[in-house]
Amino acid sequence: MKKLLIVLFVLLAANTWAQSKPDRIEPMFWWAGMKNPKLQLLVHGQHIGAYSVRLNYPGVKLLKVHEVENPNYLFIDLEITADAKAGKFPIVFMDKWKKVAEYSYELKNRDLSPSRIQGVTDKDLIYLLMPDRFSNGDKSNDIVKGLAEHKLNRDSMYYRHGGDIQGVINHLDYLKALGVTTIWMTPEIENDMPLASYHGYAATDHYKIDPRYGTNELYKTYVDKVHAKGLKVIKDIVHNHIGTGHWIFKDMPMKDWVNQWPVYTQTSYRDEPVMDPHTSQADLKKQLDGWFVPTMPDLNEKNPYVQNYLTQNHIWWIEYAGIDGLRLDTYAYNDPAYMADWALKLKAEFPSLSIFGETLVNSVPAQAYFTQGNTANRGFDTHLPGVTDNVLKSAVYETLNGKSGWVDGVFRLYNVISQDFLYQDATRNVIYWDNHDMSRFYSMIQEDINKYKSGMALLLTMRGIPQLYYGTEILMKNYSAPDGLVRSDFPGGWAGDAKDKFTAAGRTPQENEAWNFVSKLALYRKNNPALQNGKMMQFVPEDGMYVYFRYLPEGNGKDVMVILNSEDKTKVLDTSRFAERMKNIHSAVNVISGEKLNTVKTINIPAKTTLVLELN
């Protein structure tokens, strides 16, 4: 009987140990030498909140242990002093005098090599892709047991198709040949949701790459391989919301981890209340705190625990993988004060990191309102360098599809650029004509190849950081509604595809015409400083023609003249009014065709055409 009691006691103790040990500590490791010495660990485990915490490691101070509403959590505040060294140390969880669990925590050395975290600037060309729809490089991870979505269906836009990180790695040479310098994938972290989990914007684990894309280690390998090719990486992150399948949402530390409403309340999707000096506080709250959709709970960014969790997670990924830039999803829906503080904290750790926010707004002042330097309008600095230039995109469509009027057609484009004074630096904005949420460019211009070339010429010669959506270079088409075909697979990314459009042989003659046009101009841009970070001078459109120049003030670059004829007939341009930029210019070369213009006093511009000329 005594032996039986001993056995039962040992089994009970073992079971208690198993129930009590933390099942998560996040961040799971950290680095010595961070500018901010403070670190807050989130600890999750069954009834872990009942225990005290001990640790003993030189340079690491235990400042405070926070118990919260949910007894399955502890938040541990640490200070990692400047003299702390890399190494492992135990975090011990105590029940009064008895140790019940131990976690081996590690501080690593930072990788401070200059080739990491290069930043993304107007010298670059960004290529946006959805990893699930680009290429399937590893069939073994197509279906992962235990996840909510457990089938592959390439015939549906709402299920997984099997693309992954290895598929992107396999096509780095294709992207480099195209003239791309930077790759932006839609979020790669785990989205364990039952439907439409492929897009990545409903996170269920902030510290884990979705297993259908690969592993954390593979993601780091991907960044290293991209850098080895001379390219850069942008990571897409979401502050505003998570997925209902997120492990934290299923067992929240406190009720106000997400914004709560008496009844479900969706955001208004209106940015105006954020900037309106006459705004209703109810409208402002609905915009900022309303949920994006029912499956995406809105994070309460006023909660300091949420703030620490998100900020540390983003720092963790940058330091872990060596990412060059961040794209911030749904920027206008976030708490403004937190986002400003977040930007300062990230810039302190990574001064060369590039950041731009998604702002799908409808005016230049609205876009500029969110960018840094507008303290007079906001009362504080957002510290956000740039935004996605949605207003410029709309102006380009008006230019290509509309008819010239006092404020219409090509004048809309001129007008938008003329308002660049509202930004601290408009060249930090990302310019684009389509993305994963919008109808594709080729469809929006009625599949007109001349309009396509004009649009691509504008994209690759205007001020700002150009972004190309995957497949635009091969004339992929379709509209965002009703079937979401703008997110179709890249042909050739899957074994057995009828055509492999990653190769010239797999493309039609017109697709090759488009691909070659983009590649030639992108590679030219890559080697001409005037198009990378040169100044821009534009002239008031006349007779349906819009002219601007890209040039270096020092006069030691290859100046470029861009001429857009928006009309339906050939025009002859008299260049005498451009003497400011052409005083000593006697000839030019057509960048695309290679044709030399022995005189530039007058230039013939075909209908619906944009010429890109290098001036001599």
Q: pLDDT tens digits for 411-431?
A: 999 999 999 999 999 999 999
> In this structure, are 509 and 568 located in the same domain?
no
Residue 355 CB neighbour total at 10 angstroms:
24
Query: Does 308 fall in a domain?
Result: yes
Measured distance CA(102)–CA(450) in Å, rounded: 66
pLDDT of residue 197: 87
Does residue 184 share a domain with residue 254? yes
Residue-level pLDDT at 5: 43
Name the nearest CA neighbour of 28 among 185, 303, 298, 216.
Answer: 216
**What are the tokens at 302?**
């006023």
Nearest CA-CA partner of 192 in 180, 206, 181: 206
Q: How far is CA 394 from CA 349, 358, 360, 402, 521, in A?
A: 36, 15, 11, 11, 22
For 24-65, what is each residue's pLDDT tens digit? 999 999 999 999 999 999 999 999 999 999 999 999 999 999
Same domain, 389 and 468: yes
| Residue 35 sits in the same domain as residue 141 | no
87 Ramachandran zone, left/alpha/beta (phi>0; psi -120 to 50): left
Per-residue model confidence as pLDDT tens digits over 310-356: 999 999 999 999 999 999 999 999 999 999 999 999 999 999 999 99
Residue-wise pLDDT for 239-288, tens only, equals 999 999 999 999 999 999 999 999 999 999 999 999 999 999 999 999 99
Give me the pLDDT at residue 556, please.
Answer: 66
Same domain, yes or no: 557 and 499:
no
**Residue ranges of the chain with per-residue pLDDT less than 70:** 1-20, 555-557
Last residue of a domain, one of 531, 563, 589: 531
Q: Give me the DSSP letters along 502-552.
A: TSGGGS-HHHHHHHHHHHHHHHHHHT-HHHHH-EEEEEEEETTEEEEEEE-
- Report the CATH number that the domain containing residue 96 is assigned in CATH: 2.60.40.10
Q: 116 in a domain, yes or no? A: no
Q: Are residues 228 and 89 in the same domain?
A: no
Q: Specify if 29 maps to a domain.
A: yes
Does the residue 117 lie in any domain?
no
Distance CA 127, CA 112 (A): 26
Question: Which residues form the domain of 445?
Answer: 126-531
Give the strand pairing for 126-129 and 182-185. parallel
**Percentage helix, strand, coil for the chain under 3-state DSSP, each rounded to 5:** 35, 25, 45
Q: Is the four-CA dihedral 183, 388, 187, 40 of positive or negative sign?
A: positive
* Domain containing residue 380: CATH number: 3.20.20.80
Q: Are strands 182-185 and 232-237 parallel, antiparallel or unpaired?
A: parallel
Give 30's strand partners: 107
Phi then psi for residue 608, to 5 deg, are 50, 50
- What per-residue confidence (pLDDT) applies to 9? 43
**Hey, what are 571's tokens?**
């025009």
Q: Are residues 543 and 523 in the same domain?
A: no
The answer to whether 543 touches 572, Cβ cutoff 8 Å, is no
Tokens representing 209 are 């790459």
Contact between 198 and 132 (Cβ < 8 Å): yes
Do 12 and 90 share a domain, yes or no?
A: yes
Peptide bond into 482 cis (omega under 30): yes
Task: Say if residue 231 is in the same domain as residue 286.
Answer: yes
- Distance between CA atoms of 344 and 383, rounded to whole angstroms? 7
Q: Is residue 398 part of a domain?
A: yes
Q: Confirm whether 396 is domain-assigned.
A: yes
CA distances from 466 to 127, 209, 248, 274, 457 (A): 9, 27, 37, 27, 11
pTM for this structure?
0.95
Residue 121 lies in a domain: no
User: 480: which DSSP letter?
Assistant: S
Q: Please tell me the total count of domains within the chain.
A: 3
Of 531, 557, 577, the last residue of a domain is: 531
Is there a single domain that holds both residue 521 and residue 607?
A: no
* 415 assigned to some structural domain: yes
Judge if 548 and 440 occupy the same domain.
no
Biggest CA–CA distance in the chain, Å, is 109
Q: What is the pLDDT of residues 452-475, one digit of tens each?
A: 999 999 999 999 999 999 999 999
> Would you say 137 and 162 are in contact if contact means Cβ atoms under 8 Å apart?
no
Same domain (yes/no): 54, 149:
no
| Residue 554: CATH number of its domain | 2.60.40.1180
Last residue of a domain, one of 81, 109, 137: 109
What residues are annotated to the active site?
329, 358
Mean pLDDT of the chain: 94
